[in-house]
Amino acid sequence: MANKSKKDTTKKNNKIKKEVKEKDTNKEKITKKEIYEKNKKEKQKNKEKDFFSTTEVVIITLIALIVGIFSGTFITTKSNNKTNSKEIREFITTYTTVTNNYYKKVNKKKLVEAAINGMFDYLGDPHSIYMDEKETESFNQTMEGTYKGIGATIQQTDDGIKIVGIFKKSPAEKAGLKENDYIIKVNGKKTEGKTADETVRMIKKKDKAVIVVKRGDEEKSFDITLEVIDIPSVEGKIIEKDGKKVGIITLSIFAKNTGTQFKNELDKLEKDGMEQLIIDVRGNTGGYLDQASDIISNFMDKSHVIYQVERKGKKTKYYSTGTTTKQYKIAVLVNGGSASASEILAAALKESYGAEVIGTTTYGKGTVQTTTKLEGGASIKYTIERWLTPKGNSINETGIAPTIEVELSDDYYENPKEENDNQLQRALEEITKSN
């Protein structure tokens, strides 16, 4: 028995060594492309900015069960006749029992948050979640498409708080701030040891900010007045291919002002003689459904179905609100990071307009969410229905297959520039070739 045990142990150890060796070997084989894809998936998972709300469906108002906790008393409000149902009474009894009798001190706010999160865990829906006050504020700011600030994007680095982007015509640009400046002081207080979020709060504390930056070996001070900033979510340009003018519009998100930004850019490109159009929604995780509808309606008249929704077995078709149907060719660039409203746009242009969809299969987010703000400033986001393509197909968890599948090349991962973007180059080739 002892010999057998020793042999089993030796065999197990050899197996472990082999697995470790294989893992080490595999590590050496990881390419830059794999690292890029892994980071992209993590970013997609954590970012989850496909918060999908819409003005075309009725916003469900969910009155929070908990509106306050005073002197150990659990306060509720009546939203309907079933507020005092058995289930709610059990919930309240459990809460009061734990908070009053548990042997350790209980954080009541955290306990309630845990209870709400438990409800969403039960649903098993990754798109139905609870967001605390900070997450709600960040979400609202992103989805509104505007915020009050200086118009600079900052990032926490090992060397300090670094400015990594400056919005055009923003207070930051007007004042003279530049990318790669390091913010070292805000209103006389050092930013050393502060996070990017903490630095933003320091800047936004008043209507004016005195910001000291380090630029190379110099320190420079800037007096800046905060303004309401439109967050740019649309970029457009025209490039020439085989003697034809091709417009390229890139969408980063579907915020509340994205539809207006898109229309302005499209009008400009058409005025400049655009003959074909490429819409790039690669990495765009979505946003407001009504913004996707507005953008799609630029290309089709009211006879075209642009998507359907299904709720409790009932399907409803939604049509374009446009007045004319464009005649030029359109291609949509997609990848695994294209989700939600991006997929609505791609599916509508593919099935109702006849556009080419080029790239790799999309994320597969085929459900619709709405949000409800809770009294304390937090909010909940929950699924209310699923959407279908114009032809009635569900893409949930499967994604939209491109009409032309093109994997992004290793050259682009090594050196990300337009010439190495083989997905874009294939789109240009397809859209400019003769019928």
Q: Count the Cβ atoms, other than its own, within 10 Å of residue 360.
A: 19
**Separation between Cα atoms, residue 20 and residue 13, nearest integer Å:** 11
Helices 289-296, 341-348: inter-axial angle, 10-degree rounding: 20
Tell me the pairing of strands 244-251 and 234-241.
antiparallel
Q: Count the Cβ atoms, other than its own, within 10 Å of residue 356.
A: 19
Residue 340 is among the residues annotated as catalytic for this protein: yes
Dump strand ranges (E) for 226-352. Answer: 227-230, 234-241, 244-251, 276-280, 305-311, 314-319, 330-334
Residue 44 is among the residues annotated as catalytic for this protein: no
Asked if residue 131 lies in contact with residue 378, where contact means CB atoms within 8 angstroms, the answer is yes
- Active-site residue, selected from the candidate residues 276, 352, 369, 379: 369
DSSP state of 419: G
- Active-site residue, selected from the candidate residues 49, 365, 379, 423: 365
Residue 365 is among the residues annotated as catalytic for this protein: yes
**Separation between Cα atoms, residue 203 and residue 222, nearest integer Å:** 12
- Active-site residue, selected from the candidate residues 340, 352, 379, 423: 340
Rg over alpha carbons for the chain, rounded to the nearest Å, is: 26
For residue 204, what are the CA distances in angstroms to 35, 77, 227, 341?
36, 35, 10, 31
Exposed (0-12), middle (13-18) or buried (19+): which is 321, by Cβ within 10 Å? middle
For residue 80 the two structure tokens come to 């309907």
Contact partners, residue 109, CB within 8 Å, separation at least 6: 376
User: How many residues does the structure list for the chain?
Assistant: 435
Q: Count the Cβ atoms, other than its own, within 10 Å of residue 209.
A: 20
Report, as residue numbers or ranges, the catalytic residues.
340, 365, 369
